[in-house]
Amino acid sequence: MSNMQEIDLVRCTLREANSQLQGEDATGAWIIRNPQGRHALAVGLNAPIDVVIDGQAGYYAGGMNKHANITIEGNAGPGVAENMMSGSTHVRGNASMAAGATGHGGLLVIDGDAGARCGISMKGIEIVVRGSVGHMSAFMAQSGTLVICGDAGEALGDSLYEAKIFVRGEVRSLGADCEEKDMTADDLAHLRSLLDRAGVSEYPADSFRLYGSARRLYHFHVDNAAAY
Amino acid sequence: MTDNTKKTPRTKPRFSATFDPFTISEIQRAAATGIYDIRGAGTKRKLPHFDDLLFLGASISRYPLEGYRERCDTDVVLGTRFAKKPIHLKTPVTIAGMSFGALSAQAKEALGRGASAVGTSTTTGDGGMTPEERGHSSTLVYQYLPSRYGMNPDDLRRADAIEVVVGQGAKPGGGGMLLGQKISSRVARMRDLPEGIDQRSACRHPDWTGPDDLEIKIEELREITAWEKPIYIKVGASRPYYDVSLAVKAGADVVVLDGMQGGTAATQEVFIEHVGLPILSAIRPAVQALQDLGMHRKVQLIVSGGIRSGADMAKALALGADAVAIGTAALIALGDQSPELADEYARLGTVPGAYDDWQDGRDPAGITTQDPELAARLDPILGGRRIANYLSVMTMEAQAIARACGKSHLHNLEPEDLVALTMEAAAMTRIPLAGTEWYPGRQGF
Ligand SMILES: Cc1cc2nc3c(=O)[nH]c(=O)nc-3n(C[C@H](O)[C@H](O)[C@H](O)COP(=O)(O)O)c2cc1C
């Protein structure tokens, strides 16, 4: 795209790159060339701009994003889109651990697989993973939705609060207090719209199963001691 | 008839030192309820503490400063290493992190008013930043905790400093806890939790483990805040030499070291009483780590855990700290443990001085509660005045000691001004036992 504003990390520092993107008055479309796995790329963005990271990103790419739409053309390191508030982050490759950790809002799409603890402690973010996720995903997830088109590793949804988890493939094991739920028409509609927004058309919504909190650990009780 | 009972001496009831009445009541309570005791406040056991150190004062070889005439400065600058906007405090005693949720909105407001009046900072806690506390605190430190409740980039930028909480002295290795009684609708909304549940916060950060990750996390926080804010790292006292070294390596501007006397809003009693180091034993290793890295006074050290007076503050500074922080003492200054509440404490099964059910939300002083009626008892303006008074007294006490030692700034206090009263304190602080030039470990034994 010719009207993209270009930032080349071979020619400028991370600080210079981020400060150009972070202003509330930033506008338009941007491309970050030569990211070379740098950490903290495009963090703390504050305006509805489009940012393409043209390669691999290190830790915390797109951290604490508000409003911006970020696309990572390669793989992303740990904590991609951590604590995202709004906007979107699209990882074309795979994501490492803690993808979307503690996110409060917005949409995170991962075309490949995500590592361990995907969606850990999420607080309203919506995450769609086309591939599989690692162990302890959605650990202590508070609210929001995690959609896993592939398989889930061990202890999915451990100590879950009110977040919802949709899985199409195998679940290696469920964590404490996570159980399968019946899908309502609303759940199906929500899942359909998420798959649609993530550009996933190959999997029908009714091929997923829904998991949520059994809410047995919401209060301390002696009979739950073994679950803690 | 003769009264035999009077003549035959009987064995008096004798309590076991091992199974003392408190221990017995704990076993009985555990058997009846099936859940460990959860309470607030800090450890209640006797520990080596600042009381085990004394200042020497002036003599023929050291002369004092005039008490009311000669200057003894108290200011401190925090965050001089990397932050573009370091924090300037008029007195080196800060208010430690305590959340809205653990404390009422009135208590948070009072702390902000009092601290601002004397030119020092307050700190948020495990529950996010309220607009009220931002408004009432001229200098506000924003905690970055494993739970990340309410965490957002706007508050991060609104803060004057950021404190990455790795641990707390009352429970090094443990996460936060807030019981259902205190998860009111506002607290629940701020934390994105269902109302009334027993909240257990994570003990590890969700997106980093270890010092190398922490270094990257700090880079991210600095990038989000344009490298303006001082970044503190708070650790519970457990391996202070290594933790301080690693915090410096990870890029901290300030290290906060919290000893096991440190208060908490709610933690298992067994954790409070059996995990962590007394703050007295942790300061020297922490200072040593800074000195070994050439970072003493460049990375500032704030210590906390059982700080009660200007004397405690002066001793902590003499051991090499740059500032201290208080939690419990500030709550007492606000009215916690007040004898005027004796009847109400009695109804809760306790007495002034021993009240520790800060987890329970029924605090008659209106401090550790979310009950609107109880909280309304605390007048934030009066409370702020009490905090300001208390902080001023602490500062003046520390100045009195410093002048007596001939120091024109609190930071000029030094280990040579101190002696130890016990072998334990001497060993822990490397301060000579009073009347000797010796501490355990010196000269080989
Ligand atoms: C009511 C209460 C709530 C607390 N909440 C937090 C918290 O949210 N985060 C934290 O790092 N420490 C918390 N602490 C610990 C304090 O920040 C501080 O480390 C401790 O109170 C210092 O010891 P002191 O109470 O003996 O002064 C809390 C302490 C109290 C008393």
Domain hosting residue A65, numbered range: 1-80
Domain hosting residue B419, numbered range: 41-429
- The answer on A158 and A63 residing in a single domain is no
Q: What is the mean pLDDT of residues B192-202?
A: 90
Helix B210-224 × helix B240-249 angle, to 10°:
50
- The answer on A225 and A125 residing in a single domain is yes
What is the CB neighbour count within 10 angstroms for residue B204?
Answer: 12
Least confident of B196-210, B285-299, B418-432: B196-210
In chain B, which residues have their Cβ closer than 8 Å to the Cβ of A59? 213, 216-217, 220
- CA dihedral A77→A82→A86→A91, nearest 10 degrees, is 20
Among the three residues A62, A80, A98, which one is the final residue of a domain in this structure?
A: A80
Pocket test for ligand 1, best of B258, B267, B357, B370 (most atoms within 8 A of CB): B258
Task: For residue A91, tell me if it sits in a domain.
Answer: no
**Closest Cβ opposite residue A39 in set B35, B220, B225:** B220
In chain A, which residues have their Cβ closer than 8 Å to the Cβ of B197? 161, 218-219
**pLDDT per position as a tens digit, B28-87:** 999 999 989 999 999 999 999 999 999 999 999 989 999 888 999 999 999 999 999 999
- The answer on A119 and A181 residing in a single domain is yes
Least confident of A211-215, A219-223, B286-290: A219-223
Task: For residue A220, tell me if it sits in a domain.
Answer: yes
Task: For residue A73, tell me if it sits in a domain.
Answer: yes
Q: Report the residue of chain A nearest B188, measured CA to CA.
A: A142
- The answer on A76 and A1 residing in a single domain is yes
Task: For residue B277, tell me if it sits in a domain.
Answer: yes
Closest CA to A69 of A105, A125, A122, A29: A29
Task: For residue B385, tell me if it sits in a domain.
Answer: yes
Report the separation in Å between the CA atom of B409 and the middle of ligand 1, taken as the mean of its atom positions.
Answer: 28
- The answer on A225 and A129 residing in a single domain is yes
What is the CB neighbour count within 10 angstroms for residue A32?
Answer: 27
Alpha-carbon span B106 to B380, nearest angstrom: 5
Task: For residue A99, tell me if it sits in a domain.
Answer: no
Task: For residue B127, tell me if it sits in a domain.
Answer: yes
- The answer on A214 and A123 residing in a single domain is yes
**Closest Cβ opposite residue B220 in set A46, A63, A142:** A63
Task: For residue B75, tell me if it sits in a domain.
Answer: yes
Task: For residue B405, tell me if it sits in a domain.
Answer: yes
Which tokens go with B37? 């005791």
Helix B240-249 × helix B279-292 angle, to 10°:
40
Report the separation in Å between the CA atom of A166 and the middle of ligand 1, taken as the mean of its atom positions.
Answer: 39
- Would you say B229 and B141 are in contact if contact means Cβ atoms under 8 Å apart? no
Task: For residue B177, tell me if it sits in a domain.
Answer: yes
Number of domains in chain A: 2
Number of domains in chain B: 1
Averaged pLDDT score across all residues of chain B: 96
Pocket test for ligand 1, best of B164, B255, B264 (most atoms within 8 A of CB): B264
pLDDT for res B69: 85
Beta strand A69-72 pairing with A50-53: parallel
What is the CB neighbour count within 10 angstroms for residue B352?
Answer: 16
- The answer on A211 and A157 residing in a single domain is yes
ipTM for the complex? 0.96
Alpha-carbon span A106 to A123, nearest angstrom: 11
B261 Cα nearest atom in ligand 1: 26
Query: Residues with beta carbon inside 6 Å of ligand 1?
Result: B 40, 42, 96-99, 102-103, 125-126, 143, 165, 168-169, 176, 234, 258, 261-265, 304-307, 325-329, 358, 368
Quick check: B433 pLDDT over 60? yes
Q: Report the residue of chain B nearest A82, measured CA to CA.
A: B207
- The answer on A38 and A122 residing in a single domain is no
- Would you say B380 and B106 are in contact if contact means Cβ atoms under 8 Å apart? yes
Report the separation in Å between the CA atom of B27 and the middle of ligand 1, taken as the mean of its atom positions.
Answer: 28
- The answer on A131 and A193 residing in a single domain is yes
- Judge: B192–A104 Cβ closer than 8 Å, yes or no: yes
Task: For residue A88, tell me if it sits in a domain.
Answer: no
Quick check: B2 pLDDT over 60? no
H or E stretch covering B199: strand B199-200
Q: What is the mean pLDDT of residues B158-170?
A: 97
pLDDT for res B204: 96
- The answer on A117 and A70 residing in a single domain is no
- Torsion angles phi and psi, residue B179, rounded to 5: -80, 160
- The answer on A133 and A59 residing in a single domain is no
**pLDDT per position as a tens digit, B97-134:** 999 999 999 999 999 999 999 999 999 999 999 999 99
Alpha-carbon span B171 to B194, nearest angstrom: 25
- CA dihedral B264→B269→B270→B272, nearest 10 degrees, is 20
Closest CA to B56 of B402, B430, B304: B402
Q: What is the mean pLDDT of residues B413-432?
A: 98
Task: For residue B254, tell me if it sits in a domain.
Answer: yes
List the CATH number of the domain containing B94. 3.20.20.70
Task: For residue A195, tell me if it sits in a domain.
Answer: yes
Task: For residue B176, tell me if it sits in a domain.
Answer: yes
**pLDDT per position as a tens digit, A127-150:** 999 999 999 999 999 999 999 999
- From the centroid of its chain, how far is CA A19? 24
- Torsion angles phi and psi, residue A195, rounded to 5: -60, -40
Task: For residue A131, tell me if it sits in a domain.
Answer: yes
Query: B312 vs chain A: nearest CA distance in angstroms?
Result: 38
Alpha-carbon span A24 to B315, nearest angstrom: 47
Report the separation in Å between the CA atom of B338 and the middle of ligand 1, taken as the mean of its atom positions.
Answer: 20
Q: What is the mean pLDDT of residues B420-434?
A: 98
- Whether A157 has its CB under 8 Å from any CB of chain B: the answer is no
Task: For residue A175, tell me if it sits in a domain.
Answer: yes
B92: burial class by Cβ within 10 Å (0-12, 13-18, 19+)?
Answer: buried
The DSSP code for B432 is P
A 165-204 residues inside an 8 A Cβ radius of B: none
Quick check: A228 pLDDT over 70? no
In chain B, which residues have their Cβ closer than 8 Å to the Cβ of A123? 148, 192
Among the three residues A26, A60, A80, which one is the final residue of a domain in this structure?
A: A80
- The answer on A166 and A65 residing in a single domain is no
**Closest Cβ opposite residue A79 in set B180, B207, B219:** B207
Q: Which residue has the tokens 């075309």?
A: A111
**Closest Cβ opposite residue B197 in set A64, A104, A218:** A218
pTM: 0.96
Q: What is the mean pLDDT of residues B354-370?
A: 97
